[in-house]
Amino acid sequence: MHSIVRLLLISLGLCLQPLAMAAELVRVGAYHFPPYVDKPESAEPGGVLPELLVQLNAAQQDYRFTLVPTSVTRRYRDFTQARYDLIFFESPEWGWQGIELDRLDLHVSDAEVYVARAEPGRGQDYFDSLKGKRMALYNGYHYGFAGFNADQDYLTRTFKAVLTYSHDSNLLMLLHGRVELSVVPRSYLRLYQQSQPEQSQQLLVSERADQVYHHQALLRRGGPLRLEDLARLLEGLQSSGKLPALLARYHLRPTTGEEHEQANPMQL
């Protein structure tokens, strides 16, 4: 009898052992905004973030990072309702005011730049003012020239903005003369210039930035991952050279203690 009980206990222990060693699930919010995330709801999402999660999962066994699709406007509610635990490449200024969270500086820089159609005689002075210029903008996004007010009615009324969910659509409207200006991430624009060299020759890119990103990771307090643990994992990827290589492929810059580039939003 004792032998049977002992065998049952051993069997139970073997069954429970994988559960005890299971990695802690960390859900990472993601919305479509290339080049950071491309189609997060698809079977094979692309962009910087999905590749970063692959690196994080391969580097350790304590946590399993998984992508949770959200939207650019729904991401705040999903965060407060604990539908995901962490979101990368954000800024507390982008609508997160008043939401309890922890934040970690990712030491990654990007910028929003103005783009117009290249025309004879048109130079950088074209970007001195927004007055009378129709704009193609990304719906739900916070722009420096608009005081980071992402309200649709405000943007369409004040800036004659056409709002879409596609940088490509905005650039096509620009090339076809439907709008005079767009604002796109510099990292995305450089990838576009690589893949569409002929169209890129028709674009005039501003030397001024609407805003400079100082990307951060925002963590839900009480979630499965602590701020210091995330910092440790990212430092490991940084030291191995994998994270710098990933960022470089997407034209994202590492920031240092002294960041000289400043935003210079256009005026009405």
Q: What is the mean pLDDT of residues 103-113?
A: 94
pLDDT at 213: 87
Whole-number Å distance between alpha carbons of 179 and 177: 5
170-206 tens-digit pLDDT:
999 999 999 999 999 999 999 999 999 999 999 999 9
Residue 33 pLDDT more than 80? yes
Give the span between the Cα atoms of 120 and 104, in whole angstroms. 45
- pLDDT tens by residue, 63-82: 999 999 999 889 999 999 99
Write out the two tokens for 66: 């998984």
Give residue 58's pLDDT. 97
Average pLDDT across the chain, whole number: 89
**Quick count: other Cβ atoms within 10 Å of Cβ 7?**
10
* pLDDT (mean) for 226-233: 96
Q: Is the pLDDT of residue 52 over 90?
A: yes
Task: State yes or no: pLDDT of 27 exceeds 90.
Answer: yes
Residue 111: is its pLDDT beyond 70?
yes
Share of the chain above pLDDT 90, in %: 76
Tens of pLDDT, residues 251-266: 998 886 444 455 666 6
The residue to which tokens 């159609």 are assigned: 117
pLDDT tens, residue by residue, 141-180:
889 999 999 999 999 999 889 999 899 999 999 999 999 9
User: For residue range 7-18, what is the model confidence (pLDDT) as tens digits?
Assistant: 444 455 545 444
Nearest 5°: CA angle at 35, between 32 and 36?
A: 65
| Cα distances (Å, whole numbers) of residue 229 to 50, 85, 247 | 19, 14, 21
Q: To 10 degrees, what angle do helices 227-240 and 48-59 make?
A: 90
Average pLDDT of the residues in 210-214: 90
As a whole number, mean pLDDT of residues 85-110 equals 93
Dihedral Cα 46, 48, 50, 54, nearest 10 deg = 130
pTM: 0.84
